[in-house]
Structure 1
């Protein structure tokens, strides 16, 4: 039995996944290319504040101000849990 709701990925696991599961951070899948692996985490749709608050410490005037604003992601997406490694790049 598969359970799906509006926060779930459209397909889990994806056809490219070699490993997958769920841990305390949520759903994850692993992609493999030759001897390299990359882990991806499911980012649920939702709303958050982006940008710096006006009273945030450490803001530098020469960088300009980032106006804080509400962002809504209507769809979830898969995000690599680390930057691309040299091993994966050369694979």
Structure 2
């Protein structure tokens, strides 16, 4: 089965996810967070750099748990503002 290419919006969302996770990791090392979430260091590195723009749900959930992030807030942070939304 051939996977369709990602759209520019999907790639941008992957970069936003990576940036958000990097910021949440703060001073913690890649190996520390990878071990706490049960994923490989290289996998975390690829997610943070945007090279894996669509990680599996359970990977994101494990990272959110390890970084003490709320999944609803994380999802909201990754989606651009809806068309027509007013800024505060």
Structure 1 length-normalised TM: 0.21
Bigger Rg, which one: 1
Higher helix share: 2
- Whose RCO is larger (CA < 8 A, sep 6+)? 2
